[in-house]
Amino acid sequence: MTAVLLDGKQLAQTMQAEIAAETTELLRTYNIRPGLAAVLVGDNPASQLYVRNKRRACEKAGLTSWLHELPANTSQADLLALLARLNADPVVHGILVQLPLPAHINESVIVDAVSPLKDVDGFGPHSLGLLAAGRPHFLACTPHGVLQLLVRNNIPVAGAHIVILGRSNIVGKPLALILMQKGIDATVTVCHSRSKNISALTRSADIVVVAIGQLRYLRADMIRPGAVVIDVGMHRLPDGGWAGDVDFAAVREVASAITPVPGGVGPMTITMLLYNTLRAARSLQRDK
């Protein structure tokens, strides 16, 4: 068996075309163009590349985008002042603060400072709290992208046992909450560094999502034949290539479907950011 590739790049192109069409209609009908403000503190090369890709996707889909680049020694007070201005700006519908931030800035304080109405990353306590209460508003982008990869590739989720490796606030926790929502109805197990006998848990899963931050952690003997594997990890290799949290070559011979790295979950994360920004702009129109 050789697994089918779940092509996130192709699906992202399809969904971004849908978003572009809806953006055009919103502009034509209500004269509202969705706008996303990105804030980048410091000169982290990976963050710079990610923000550039997000801005490029915005422009292609017809969204307005702004980039606020701040030096690494920017004070927390100055960053909070910028966020206050963006929160108050009516043409800014979504705010993205690129993480990680420099060590002298408290990330939790900054995440909490973004208006819940503009939290298009879905990281804020308001967004996560609504999700936990079963009343989701903005879904965190990477977990939502994982869900879209499954649903749009006709992979059954309702009733499926899904094992998530990793419990971060960015992927593991919100993904578990999303998959447990009524109407999605998965049975979810979340594994972490203190979990015992992880291999037994992953071998019991219909779907395994790996977001553990360890290069090629998931081996072929850790899944049952025919399982679906979603790889959220991304690691730069010494030769300049990329690999994920899954031993792709070996696992592909056991799984029924698998995401590549790159070209799997990554493009979907950016797509769901655009989706949330469009949704925020629509909410503004409804509130008028």
The set of long-range contacts for 198-203, using a CB threshold of 8 Å and a minimum separation of 24, is: 198/165, 198/222, 201/163, 202/163, 202/165
Specify the pLDDT at position 252: 97
Active site residue: 98, 206, 231, 247, which one? 98
Specify the pLDDT at position 286: 60
Q: Annotated catalytic, 121?
A: yes
Domain 31-115 class, CATH top level: alpha beta
pLDDT exceeds 80 at position 191: yes
* Domain locations along the chain: 31-115, 141-266
**Architecture of the domain defined by 141-266:** 3-Layer(aba) Sandwich (3.40)
pLDDT exceeds 60 at position 288: no
Active site residue: 16, 118, 119, 121, which one? 121
pLDDT exceeds 80 at position 140: yes
Under the banding of pLDDT at 50, 70 and 90, the label for residue 287 is low
Encode pLDDT of 60-97 as tens digits.
999 999 999 999 999 999 999 999 999 999 999 999 99
Specify the pLDDT at position 49: 78
Run of H or E including 121: none
| Mean local confidence (pLDDT), 148-176 | 97
Q: Are 93 and 64 in contact (CB under 8 A)?
A: no
Under the banding of pLDDT at 50, 70 and 90, the label for residue 178 is very high
AA identity, residue 190: V
How much is the mean pLDDT over the chain?
A: 95
- Are both 31-115 and 141-266 of the same fold? yes
pLDDT exceeds 90 at position 138: yes
Specify the pLDDT at position 283: 87
pLDDT exceeds 60 at position 163: yes
The percentage of residues in the chain with a pLDDT greater than 70, rounded to a whole number, is 98
User: Token match 């055009």: residue?
Assistant: 24
pTM over 0.75: yes
Specify the pLDDT at position 229: 98
pLDDT exceeds 90 at position 48: no
pLDDT exceeds 90 at position 124: yes
The percentage of residues in the chain with a pLDDT greater than 90, rounded to a whole number, is 89
Specify the pLDDT at position 249: 97
Half-sphere exposure of 201 (CA within 13 A, CB side): 18
CB neighbourhood size of 115 (10 A): 17
Encode pLDDT of 7-44 as tens digits.
999 999 999 999 999 999 999 999 999 999 999 999 87
| Mean local confidence (pLDDT), 276-282 | 96
Encode pLDDT of 96-107 as tens digits.
999 889 999 999
Q: Annotated catalytic, 13?
A: no
| Mean local confidence (pLDDT), 175-203 | 97
Active site residue: 54, 119, 231, 247, which one? 54
